[in-house]
Amino acid sequence: MIETEKFHVVDIGDGHKVLTIRSDNIDEYMGYYKEHKAIDGVSISWMSGYRLPDISFLQQHKYIKGIIVDSNKIDISGIQSLKELEYISISDNTQPIDYSVFPKLEQIDSDWHPKVIISEKCSKLKHLCFWHYKPKSKNLTELPNLPNLEFLGIIQSPIESTKGIGKFTRLKRIVLSYLPKLATLCDMENLPIETAEVQNSKQLQNLD
């Protein structure tokens, strides 16, 4: 973490550093962003001092590679035009978002809800973590084929099995946590998994 009297930069891993944006002087914050080449993303949160109703200021900064948004009070519709994005984290937000419009996207950490769209167009995606994923199938068959996916996290979800996970042929790491109805781990036998973390899934019975 890098912190000055005004600017707050956080290393979020994988070589990414994000600058917390307050709404009191956005031009000054974005000037700092452009002066520091190690920073490649922005963090926007009501709790951290962002008080504008939307993120329209980013229309002038379409070069950013990453964004973190943590608030349902902020209109995130403007995010759809940021075609350079490589990583996105959206939490506490139930607004529509189509992840397939970002051609360079490699990482998604997001609350899931019915207005979230993810498709096979997300072909560069390497990291996908969904909270509150509620597919009708109660498994992973409804997730699209993502040929480069290496990490999959499913947190606080009612899924009952991992059926469908076998399509992620490059999957190296999985995190399954707080899945109270998960009873069966299956469809993994041909995957190159190096690490599997399964936590707080009390109904788990079978490993097929």
Q: What are the Cα distances from residue 123, in Å, to 118, 133, 187?
A: 10, 20, 21
**Residue range(s) defining the domain that contains residue 34:** 1-111
Answer yes or no: do 132 and 96 share one domain.
no
Give the containing element (helix H, strand E) for 35.
helix 26-35
Answer yes or no: do 160 and 105 share one domain.
no
Where a domain ends, among 111, 134, 163?
111
How many domains are there within the chain?
Answer: 2
In a domain? residue 34: yes
In a domain? residue 120: no
> pTM of this prediction?
0.92
Separation of alpha carbons 110 and 177, rounded Å: 15
Answer yes or no: do 146 and 182 share one domain.
yes
Answer yes or no: do 178 and 92 share one domain.
no
- In single-letter form, the type of residue at position 70 comes to D
> Among residues 77, 123, 128, 117, which one has the least CA distance to residue 104?
123
In a domain? residue 1: yes
Answer yes or no: do 137 and 62 share one domain.
no
Answer yes or no: do 105 and 17 share one domain.
yes
In a domain? residue 117: no
What pLDDT band is residue 205 in, cutting at 50, 70 and 90? low
Cα angle at 93 between 92 and 98, to 5 degrees?
A: 135
Say which residue, 114 or 3, is predicted with more confidence. 114
Residue 133 scores a pLDDT above 50? yes
Give the per-residue pLDDT at 111. Answer: 93
Residue 13 makes CB contacts below 8 A (sequence gap 6+) with none
Tokens coding 26: 């956005």
Answer yes or no: do 195 and 148 share one domain.
yes
Where a domain ends, among 60, 84, 111?
111
Q: Which long-range contacts (CB under 8 A, 24 or more apart) does 91-97 make?
A: 91/131, 93/69
Q: Tens digit of pLDDT for each residue in 17-43?
A: 999 999 999 999 999 999 999 999 999
Q: Tens digit of pLDDT for each residue in 90-115?
A: 998 888 999 999 999 999 999 999 99
Q: Across residues 66-74, what is the average pLDDT?
A: 90
Q: Strand 107-111 and strand 127-131: pairing? A: parallel
Answer yes or no: do 133 and 165 share one domain.
yes
Say which residue, 4 or 106, is predicted with more confidence. 106
